A and B are shown apart, each in its own frame.
Chain A
Amino acid sequence: AQSVTQLGSHVSVSEGALVLLRCNYSSSVPPYLFWYVQYPNQGLQLLLKYTSAATLVKGINGFEAEFKKSETSFHLTKPSAHMSDAAEYFCAVSNNAGNMLTFGGGTRLMVKP
């Protein structure tokens, strides 16, 4: 069975600083991996997804993630944080049947002025 671990339930950065949110997965088959963002009192929005086409995936709002098979990681980065990036971020992995996403526990990103 697949699983996802997000290191750090809370991450705080200054505006303009690098954002790094960590995600490690376990999967017995080549995975489909996703990052979602959740703003307060809203549903989850898809930021980006990895589907084996390219290891560096670019998403919306300047975010990107790199798939590293040797490290079983799919960390999310953004070069320069903006106040509007403050939200909760979820990493997810799909099962091979394509009918289930397993989510990590989430990381709340806080951006300080």
Chain B
Amino acid sequence: NAGVTQTPKFQVLKTGQSMTLQCAQDMNHNSMYWYRQDPGMGLRLIYYSASEGTTDKGEVPNGYNVSRLNKREFSLRLESAAPSQTSVYFCASSPEARAGLNYGYTFGSGTRLTVV
């Protein structure tokens, strides 16, 4: 019963370095999401993928790119990391995303990223 798996769990980057956060789900969900969590600000949506082959910007997309590799996998890339991107990153999935319906999300355990 893996659910949503994120790798790595911890990462330290230097300013300007790049990296990709990986996310995979085994629940056959159509929709996947990337959030960042900062103290006192709750979770903010970075990007989402309503279905395989589609991606859309969320609330805070600047400095990030995403790839929906297949139905299971949704990766988040930081091209040139900045200290402001120090955060905890969560991947989530849900059966689908459409008007008038929301099942809620299943979350991964997070990636704690520090940019120095």
A residues apposed to B, CB below 8 Å: 4, 6, 9, 32, 34, 36, 41-46, 49, 51, 90, 94, 96-106
Q: B97 contacts A99, CB within 8 Å?
A: yes
Interchain CA distance A6-B40 in the complex, whole Å: 10
Interchain CA distance A108-B96 in the complex, whole Å: 30
B residues apposed to A, CB below 8 Å: 4, 31, 35, 40-45, 48, 50, 56, 58, 90, 92, 96-102, 104-110
What chain B residues lie within 8 Å of A4 (beta carbons)?
42
A87 to chain B, nearest CB (A): 14
Interchain CA distance A95-B44 in the complex, whole Å: 14
In-complex Cβ contact of B42 among A98, A100, A106 (8 A): A106
Q: A106: nearest residue on chain B (CB-CB)?
A: B42
Interchain CA distance A105-B41 in the complex, whole Å: 4
Q: A98 contacts B110, CB within 8 Å?
A: no
What chain A residues lie within 8 Å of B102 (beta carbons)?
32, 49, 51, 94, 98, 101
What chain A residues lie within 8 Å of B109 (beta carbons)?
41-43
How many residue pairs link A and B with beta carbons under 8 A? The number is 69
What chain A residues lie within 8 Å of B90 (beta carbons)?
43-44
B57 to chain A, nearest CB (A): 11
Interchain CA distance A9-B56 in the complex, whole Å: 31
Q: A99 contacts B31, CB within 8 Å?
A: yes
What chain A residues lie within 8 Å of B48 (beta carbons)?
99-100
Interchain CA distance A97-B48 in the complex, whole Å: 13
Q: A32: nearest residue on chain B (CB-CB)?
A: B102
Q: A30: nearest residue on chain B (CB-CB)?
A: B100
In-complex Cβ contact of B99 among A36, A43, A98 (8 A): A98
What chain A residues lie within 8 Å of B96 (beta carbons)?
98
Q: What are 17 of the A-B contact pairs (CB < 8 Å)?
A: A9-B40, A32-B102, A34-B104, A44-B43, A44-B92, A98-B98, A99-B50, A99-B56, A100-B45, A100-B48, A101-B43, A101-B45, A102-B45, A103-B35, A103-B44, A104-B42, A105-B40
